[in-house]
């Protein structure tokens, strides 16, 4: 288990819960706008599972849940027993994923180890590989994860980080049909930082984001901006 970081308390990452966030290293995407780029290659772990579980045990009277993010958490071979241990503490689990490993996603959920999933929708089908930082990408597993979530009962959200210099109106025209039937969809604006994998991108203005949202909204039950000043 490659644990690369810990945020001890968050009120934002897990809807409706006070949570801790555990960052797992290693990713199979190379999104140029990634703000956790130091986690992509993996590297050496900063914490052992035992250290994280000890911390969660001590904070179990305060925390209500744990966010498991990355990197891409589903790449970790020990993820399932780690979530089992978190469950024994009595905490809810939110899993952040790029949706590239639908079999793992389905197994974790069917075993009752996850309470909420946030899946990144990188772009529309035409621009998906570029947004994921790859020369080519099969969308079959992405579509499988989307379909499983849309047709299932587990609470989830889809979300897209809108990046000027990478996304256009056409991407959002394509995202709508891709996620048709989605309950909750969010667009969050790109934020520049020294940790971004590829520099030179910028954010959209609120009016542009609202326009993108209108293109996707007819395909979803709820569509909103996240983290955008009113």
For 46, other C-beta atoms within 10 Å of its C-beta total 13
- Alpha-carbon gap, residue 89 to 1, rounded angstroms: 19
- Locate the domains of the chain by residue range: 3-226
pLDDT in tens, the chain (230 residues): 899 999 999 998 898 899 999 999 999 999 999 988 888 888 788 899 999 999 999 999 999 999 999 999 999 999 999 999 999 999 999 999 999 999 999 999 999 999 999 999 999 999 999 999 999 999 999 999 999 999 999 999 999 999 999 999 999 999 999 999 999 999 999 999 888 888 889 999 999 999 999 999 999 999 999 988 75
Phi, psi of 21 (to 5 degrees): -120, 125
CATH 3.20.20.70 for domain 3-226, yes or no, is yes
The full DSSP string for 75-99 is G-TTHHHHHHHHHHHT-EEEEEE-S
pTM: 0.94
Coil, strand or helix at 31: coil
Residues 6 or more apart whose Cβ sits within 8 Å of residue 98? 27, 28, 29, 72, 119, 120, 122, 132, 142
Q: Which residues contact 181 (CB under 8 A, 6 or more apart)?
A: 150, 151, 219, 220
Element at 213 (helix H, strand E): helix 206-216
């Amino acid at each position: 288990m490659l644990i690369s970081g810990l945020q001890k308390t968050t009120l934002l990452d897990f809807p409706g819960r006070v949570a801790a966030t555990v960052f797992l290293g290693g990713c199979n995407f190379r999104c140029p706008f990634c703000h956790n780029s130091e986690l992509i290659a993996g590297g050496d772990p900063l914490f052992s599972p035992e250290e994280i579980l000890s911390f969660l045990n001590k904070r179990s009277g305060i925390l209500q849940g744990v966010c498991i993010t990355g990197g891409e958490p589903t790449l970790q071979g020990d993820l399932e027993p780690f979530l089992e241990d978190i469950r024994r503490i009595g905490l809810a689990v939110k899993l952040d994923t790029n949706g590239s490993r639908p079999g793992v996603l389905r197994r974790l959920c069917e075993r009752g180890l996850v309470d909420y999933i946030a899946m990144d929708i990188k772009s529309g089908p035409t621009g998906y590989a570029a947004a994921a930082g790859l020369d080519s990408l099969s969308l079959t597993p992405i579509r499988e994860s989307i379909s499983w979530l849309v047709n299932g009962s587990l609470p989830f959200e889809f979300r897209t980080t809108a990046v000027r210099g990478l996304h256009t109106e056409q991407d959002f025209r394509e995202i709508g049909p891709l996620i048709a039937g989605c309950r909750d969809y969010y667009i969050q604006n790109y934020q520049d930082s020294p940790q971004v994998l590829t520099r030179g991108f910028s954010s959209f203005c609120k009016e542009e984001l609202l326009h993108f949202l209108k293109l996707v909204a007819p395909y979803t039950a709820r569509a909103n901006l996240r983290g955008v000043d009113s």
